[in-house]
């Protein structure tokens, strides 16, 4: 067992080729070690991912091109019939509308609120840990319990929120009737659960921002607001991108909250709050047990999430670099100037 080291291509000008040198096996091993080991160390994740992540995705694709009932199992190969059937379903398009609507009115305020909360938590507070843990508490509450509580709050006739509105002379809102109202109610549940969670992620990123930058900003006469926009936001850009991507994925897969929003769990009589995941579930697991069609919905949802995720990634990249790279550079310049001043002093 020996390996020849690669021979360089001959050229006319080159001297006569050297005899290939025999390399010791131990040396080969150590070269392999350098080249292969890192991949081995990270391989457990990828092996697990192929088994538990990639395989289901591909298998879902396989199911989606077959006629497939939940109880009867696999049927004939039907090509893309399931997809065309899904496109013909009014409920599917309604579910897309609802999903996007709930996603927008939950994710946008959620990320903004989370950054603001994190900024406040990043200040010098008394009982820091208490406030930080408190922010995370809603996340610990089971989604079904959240559904029960908010179901009471948002009940159309007997709900607390409608009776509060009544105090101000506002007519009761049909939380289970009007599509937009139902989306707001569901988005409220989502925000209740996830805002604190995201705030903690932002907080962790903010803690890593070098304090000198803030000192420099203060010396340059920046107020709290200015240093928030010109120092904090540019510095935590990567985290913003991360949170936006994860909440895109989570928001488009929303299921628990709309499912527990009424007792039937089917998304409302006019499908006011039927989300795509809920539609997928109803197609595959109740009524017609059409797993083939459900798998097609799953794949479409997968592609949609991928597309919106990429758009969001591009947007956050642009927003973070476009609107704040100027001030960010300025801040760096300022800090450099501050250093220079200090040295000269």
- Where along the sequence are the contacts to another protein (CB under 8 A)? 70-73, 85, 88-91, 151-152, 155-159, 174, 176-177, 262-266, 269-270, 285-289, 291
Nearest residue (CB) to another protein, 89 versus 246: 89
Cβ proximity to another protein: between 28 and 246 the closer is 28
Q: How far is the CB of 83 from another protein (least distance, A)?
A: 14
> Which helix (H) or strand (E) element contains residue 68?
strand 66-69
Q: Which one-letter DSSP state was computed for residue 245?
A: H
Taking the complex as a whole, how short is the minimal distance between the CB of residue 178 and another protein, in angstroms? 8
CB of 288 to another protein, least distance (A): 6
Please provide residue 154's backbone torsions phi and psi, each rounded to the nearest 5 degrees: -100, 15
Kindly tell me which of 213 and 278 has the beta carbon lying closer to another protein: 278
Give yes or no for a contact between 198 and 114, defined as CB atoms under 8 angstroms apart: yes
Shortest Å distance, C-beta 26 to another protein: 16
Q: Cα 204 from chain centroid?
A: 17
Minimum CB separation of residue 313 from another protein in Å reads 35
Compute the distance between CA of residue 216 and CA of residue 110 in angstroms, rounded to an integer: 30
Closer residue to another protein in complex, CB, 185/216: 185
Residue among 1 and 7 whose Cβ is closer to another protein: 1
Give how far the C-alpha of residue 305 lies from the chain's centroid of Cα atoms, to the nearest Å. Answer: 10
User: Given CA atoms 286, 287, 292, 296 in this order, what sign does their dihedral have?
Assistant: negative
> CB-wise, 162 or 316, nearer to another protein?
162
DSSP string, 181-232: HHHHHHHHHHHHHHHHHHHHHHHHHHHTS-HHHHHHHHHTT--HHHHIIIII
CB of 71 to another protein, least distance (A): 4
């Amino acid at each position: 067992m020996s390996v020849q080291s690669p021979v360089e291509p001959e050229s006319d000008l080159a001297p006569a080729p050297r005899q290939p040198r025999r390399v010791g096996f131990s040396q080969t091993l150590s070269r392999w070690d350098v080249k292969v080991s890192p991949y081995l160390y990270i391989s457990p994740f990828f092996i697990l991912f192929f088994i538990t992540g990639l395989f289901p995705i591909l298998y879902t694709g396989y199911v989606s091109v077959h006629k497939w009932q939940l109880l009867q199992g696999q049927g004939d190969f039907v090509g893309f019939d399931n997809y065309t059937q899904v496109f013909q379903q009014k409920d599917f398009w309604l579910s897309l509308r609802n999903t996007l609507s709930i996603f927008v009115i939950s994710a946008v305020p959620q990320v903004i609120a989370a950054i603001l909360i994190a900024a406040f938590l990043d200040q010098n507070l008394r009982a820091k840990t208490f406030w930080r843990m408190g922010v995370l508490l809603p996340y610990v509450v089971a989604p079904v319990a959240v559904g029960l509580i908010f179901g009471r709050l948002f009940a159309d006739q007997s709900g607390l929120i409608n009776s509060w509105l009544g105090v101000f002379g506002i007519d009761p809102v049909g939380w289970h009737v009007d599509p937009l109202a139902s989306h707001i109610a569901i988005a409220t549940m989502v925000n209740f659960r996830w805002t604190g969670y995201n705030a903690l992620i932002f907080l962790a990123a903010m803690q890593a921002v070098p304090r000198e930058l803030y000192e420099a900003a203060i010396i340059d006469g920046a107020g709290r607001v200015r240093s928030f926009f010109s120092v904090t936001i540019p510095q935590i850009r990567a985290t913003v991108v991360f949170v936006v991507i994860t909440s895109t994925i989570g928001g488009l897969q929303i299921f628990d909250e709309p499912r527990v929003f009424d007792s039937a769990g089917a998304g409302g009589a006019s499908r006011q709050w039927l989300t795509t995941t809920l539609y997928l579930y109803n197609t595959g697991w109740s009524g017609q047990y059409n797993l083939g069609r459900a798998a097609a919905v799953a794949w479409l949802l997968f592609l949609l999430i991928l597309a919106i995720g990429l758009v969001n990634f591009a947007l956050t990249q642009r927003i973070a670099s476009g609107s704040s790279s100027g001030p960010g550079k300025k801040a760096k310049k300022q800090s450099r100037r501050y250093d220079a001043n200090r040295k000269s002093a």
